[in-house]
């Protein structure tokens, strides 16, 4: 190390470090104003890499135009619904698709932006929510699951200013939406996107026609990934190459294109994810219903094919995590001599002193799943492995199984 730069050093600060510089000294002689360069809107603005959960990470280059259009659309009322009345907590780090574009939304709306350090524990997040009077926030589901459990154990002394939290990265379960809202009056908003879509492409908010539905029916809709934003197009394509109907039942690969969807990866000629007519192949297996709500049933590489029938690992995970004794659950395919593949459920108990039997889990799942869809095998683990951005790391779970560490 050649130099150490110390930030916000108090008066009379001393250190044993050699070769130190002080940040305030470095900027003292700099101008307070900046002469902005003239840029073409199609010039490169930033680049992020895909998480690599299903392969090697690939570079995704964003332009100033795509970044601006994304921010302008997502801050609108039927999307993120942000304004200068909001104080927004950016739990998503900036290296994760530029914090989902939130820094740009905050600047455009005049929202106050709170940017914490990485890898915060739930207790620290709750303290920030209280101290900074946060009104809205973002984050992956595992973060909000931890925050909910912390608030249940140590309820805030006063009602939080937090109105809602926007979730992406993986599915927000109906049970977490319901529990957070019933216990603390805080809304969960499901969104969907990818690094390749800059990243947000949909959000799930109710329409007027849904206001008279029961709470359970409303939450079922809100747990879907939602409707595409203006500027984004979606379609479902079946195995036969035909575009599937929007009936909420017919599954196929989700394909998207739009003003902030990439047309190629950075410095690669790999076109496997792109169709000849300009659509990006997401790898998500999905449906779209008659009202336009998209719902992801699985990743193509995470689907389980048992005896010729497809089983959704995402649906099983959401159902298992609705059980009061289960904190987290991840489902993978394991080889089976008779059926080719069978689902294996790796579960994290909410309380290790309260175990749960395989038979109890099978009975719990039987109301929503056919017999062939229900896992035969369950294993209890201490923690579901996660990627750097909080997604379940199924590559790691498969590795642990292959090495005999999940038996």
Residues 177 and 195 in one domain: yes
Shared domain for 293 and 319, answered yes or no, is: no
Q: Is 310 one of the annotated active-site residues of the chain?
A: yes
Q: Are residues 211 and 234 in the same domain?
A: yes
Cα(393)–Cα(71) distance, integer angstroms = 29
State how many domains the chain has: 2
Q: Indicate if 141 and 271 belong to the same structural domain.
A: yes
Confidence of residue 118 (pLDDT cuts 50, 70, 90): low
Query: Which one of the listed residues 24, 305, 360, 405 is annotated catalytic?
Result: 305
- Does 381 lie in the same domain as 294? no
Least Cα distance to 144 among 169, 161, 117 occurs for 169
- Is 199 among the domain residues? yes
Give the per-residue pLDDT at 52: 60
Which of 283, 299, 315 corresponds to the end of one domain? 299
Per-residue model confidence as pLDDT tens digits over 11-33 = 889 888 889 999 999 999 888 89
Are 376 and 254 in the same domain? no
Q: Answer yes or no: is 139 within a domain.
A: yes
384: domain CATH number?
3.30.300.30
- Is 158 a known active-site residue? no
CATH number of the domain within which 210 lies: 3.40.50.12780
Model confidence pTM above 0.85: no
Whether residue 177 lies inside any domain: the answer is yes
Instruction: Please classify residue 290 by burial: count the beta carbons closer than 10 Å to its beta carbon, then call 0-12 exposed, 13-18 middle and 19+ buried.
Output: exposed
3-state SS class at 142: helix
Q: Is the omega angle on the peptide bond into residue 199 within 30 degrees of 0, that is, cis?
A: yes
| Same domain (yes/no): 136, 224 | yes
Residue span of the structural domain in which 194 resides? 44-299
Q: Are residues 295 and 309 in the same domain?
A: no
Do 272 and 342 lie in one domain? The reply is no
Does the annotation count 54 as an active-site position? no
Domain match, 268 and 329 both? no
Cα separation, 70 vs 65, whole angstroms: 8
pLDDT digit string (tens) for 212-261? 999 999 999 999 999 999 999 999 999 899 999 999 999 999 999 999 99
Same domain, 294 and 308: no
The percent helix, strand, coil of the chain (3-state, each to 5) is 25, 25, 50
Is the same domain home to 310 and 257?
Answer: no
Instruction: State the pLDDT at residue 340.
Output: 86
Q: 150, 178, 196, 253: which is the annotated catalytic residue?
A: 196
């Amino acid at each position: 190390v050649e130099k150490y730069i110390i930030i916000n050093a108090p008066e009379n600060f001393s250190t044993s470090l050699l070769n130190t510089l002080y940040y305030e000294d470095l900027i003292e002689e700099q101008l307070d104003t900046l002469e902005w360069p003239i840029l073409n809107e199609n010039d490169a603005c930033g680049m992020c890499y895909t998480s690599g959960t299903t392969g090697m990470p690939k570079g995704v280059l964003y332009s100033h135009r795509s970044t601006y259009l994304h921010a302008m659309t997502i801050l609108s009322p039927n999307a993120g619904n942000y304004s200068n009345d909001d104080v927004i907590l950016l739990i998503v780090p900036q290296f994760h698709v530029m914090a989902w574009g939130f820094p740009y939304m905050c600047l455009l709306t005049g929202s106050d932006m709170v940017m914490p350090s990485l890898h915060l524990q739930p207790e620290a997040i709750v303290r920030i929510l209280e101290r900074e009077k946060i009104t809205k926030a973002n984050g992956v589901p595992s973060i909000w699951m931890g925050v909910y459990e912390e608030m249940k154990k140590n309820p805030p002394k006063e009602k939080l200013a937090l109105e809602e939290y926007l979730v992406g990265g993986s599915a927000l379960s109906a049970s977490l939406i319901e529990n957070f809202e019933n216990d603390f009056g805080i809304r969960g908003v499901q969104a969907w996107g990818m690094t390749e879509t800059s990243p947000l492409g949909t959000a799930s908010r109710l329409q007027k026609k849904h206001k008279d539905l029961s709470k359970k029916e409303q939450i079922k809709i809100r747990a879907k990934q939602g409707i595409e934003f203006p500027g984004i197009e979606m379609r479902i394509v079946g195995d036969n190459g035909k575009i599937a109907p929007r009936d909420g039942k017919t599954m196929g690969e989700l394909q998207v294109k739009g003003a902030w969807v990439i047309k190629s990866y950075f410095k690669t000629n790999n076109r496997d994810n792109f169709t000849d007519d300009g659509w990006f192949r997401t790898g998500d297996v999905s449906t779209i219903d008659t009202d336009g709500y998209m719902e992801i049933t699985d990743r193509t590489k995470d689907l389980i094919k048992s005896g010729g029938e497809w089983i959704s690992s995402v649906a099983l995970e959401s159902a298992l995590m609705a059980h009061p004794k289960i904190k987290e659950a991840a489902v993978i395919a394991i080889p089976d001599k008779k059926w080719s593949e069978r689902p294996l459920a790796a579960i994290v108990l909410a309380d290790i002193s309260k175990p749960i039997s395989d038979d109890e889990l099978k009975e719990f799942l039987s109301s929503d799943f056919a017999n062939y869809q229900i896992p035969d095998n369950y294993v209890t683990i201490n923690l579901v492995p996660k990627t750097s951005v909080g997604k379940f790391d199924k590559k790691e779970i498969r590795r642990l199984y292959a090495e005999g560490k999940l038996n």
